[in-house]
Chains A and B, each alone.
Chain A
Amino acid sequence: MAEANGDVLYASGTEYVSHHLGFLTYGKIDGHWGFAHTPEEATQMGFWAINVDTMLISLILGVLFMGFYYLVSRKVTSGVPGGVQNFVEMIVEFVIESVDGAFHAKNKFVAPLALTTFSWIFLMNAMDLVPVDWIPLFAQTVAGDSHLYFKAVPTTDINITLGFATAVFLMVIYYSLKVKGPLGFANDFLMHPFPKWYLAPLNLLLELPGFFAKPVSLALRLYGNMFAGEVIFLVIALLGWYQLPLHFAWAVFHILVITLQAYLFMMLTIVYLNQAHQVDH
């Protein structure tokens, strides 16, 4: 951003970018609980710390869209739908179609889960379209600390995307055990792709990494795409007045990316859960 260049806040473009990539982390450091003042302090806090910024934005967005859906669902009518209901119905029908296409078992949880996943991740990604300084500046003003780290796009935080992926992974394990039973589940690892008992170790070697790669790839795909997009927004923001047309062009392109990534996450969630429900061979 133009003003940021001349501002004493950031000595260089590098510092500007890296400051925007830092988190507002709350955790225990040097024996007491508090916010990290630098990314190094955040790292020192270890696992038992929380990124207040991404978590807060994530929850605000979650409450916003779920509250919106809730209010709409309170007064839906089967007659001619109004504009808002029409909009929600469009999303719901899109989700139902996606689930019908990829999920072949019966589970009442999958479609609402897909709706939650798609809506929430889409909104988190959409935070990318807000000019990169607005939300951090707002947070800095509220906190009265001009050096506050504040990450506005939750999906550029690996913790958030991994949180989604972990939940999906646990659901996959839960439904696999529930539908196939422990033996059936184990069978998936030991008897595929080669259905010979003496090849079980080889099967395990092939299947196990693939199984654990699912949540990791799910989390990293979303995180990677959004993080890269965010960095490019930050670099564009360093260009002074030239950033305006560039920012616009990148934002227009990014509309495609955020929608596609939200859709991909939803579809993969559905596909993984479908695999968990598949009893065959």
Chain B
Amino acid sequence: MNLNATVIGQSIAFALFAYFCMKVVWPPLVAVLEERRKKIIDGLEAAERAQIDLAAAQEKAGEDKEIAKREAAEIVDQAKRRANQIVEEAKDQARAEGERLITAANAEIEQQANRAKEALREQVATIAIAGAEKILQRSIDQAANEELLKGLAAEL
């Protein structure tokens, strides 16, 4: 174990290698590590943001769903009301129509009865005249009697 100039040689070599390492090798390696660290931090932040956004979107979707449900219920309600209304209207119309038909029928009946009465009256008049003719047979002033008979018929 004898000391010699190898000490100096190794010291110089060591210093040179360390200097080279600091100037050339180290900066790109550390820069890359730093860059990746930044990327990872950014990625994690983005993921966190996305999670918050997702939660907000889910909340919004829930709210929208509630609103839609309420609106749908309202629409169904309205439709039911409208249907009831239509049914009621139809019922009313039917009732009115029925009443109108009844009235018309009644009027018709009355008219026909009147017509029958008229015809009957005329026939009665004719019968009466015929009867009177037969009874009187002879010279009776046809015209004077007819006047009388017509007045009689009108009184029926």
Contacts and interface: CB of A to CB of B under 8 A. Distances in A.
A108 interface: yes
B69 interface: no
Contact of B20 (A48, A66, A158): A66
Determine the interface band of chain A, counting residues with CB < 8 A from chain B: 35 or more
Nearest to B10: A163
A109 B29 contact: no
A170 B14 CA distance: 12
Interface string A130-152: 00000000000000000000000
Determine the interface band of chain B, counting residues with CB < 8 A from chain A: 20 to 34
Interface stretch (A72-80, A177-185, A233-241, A249-257): A72-80
A93 B25 CA distance: 14
A204 B142 CA distance: 182
Interface in B1-52: 1-11, 13-15, 17-18, 20-22, 24-26, 28-30, 32-33, 35-36, 39
Contacts of A74: 28
A167 B33 contact: no
Contact of A47 (B3, B11, B24, B33): B3
A89 B25 CA distance: 12
Contacts of A46: 4
A41 to B, nearest CB: 11
The residue in B18, B24, B32 that gathers the most chain A C-beta atoms within 10 A of its C-beta is B18
Interface of A: 25, 27, 42-43, 45-51, 54-55, 58-59, 62, 66, 69-70, 72-74, 76-79, 88-89, 92-93, 96, 108-109, 111-113, 115-117, 120, 157-160, 162-164, 166-167, 170
Given A58-B10, A160-B6, 11 more contacts: A50-B6, A55-B10, A69-B21, A79-B36, A96-B30, A111-B26, A115-B26, A116-B14, A157-B6, A159-B10, A167-B11
21 contacts: A27-B4, A47-B4, A48-B5, A58-B13, A62-B17, A70-B25, A78-B35, A78-B39, A89-B29, A108-B22, A109-B18, A113-B22, A115-B21, A120-B14, A158-B3, A159-B4, A162-B7, A162-B10, A163-B11, A164-B14, A166-B7
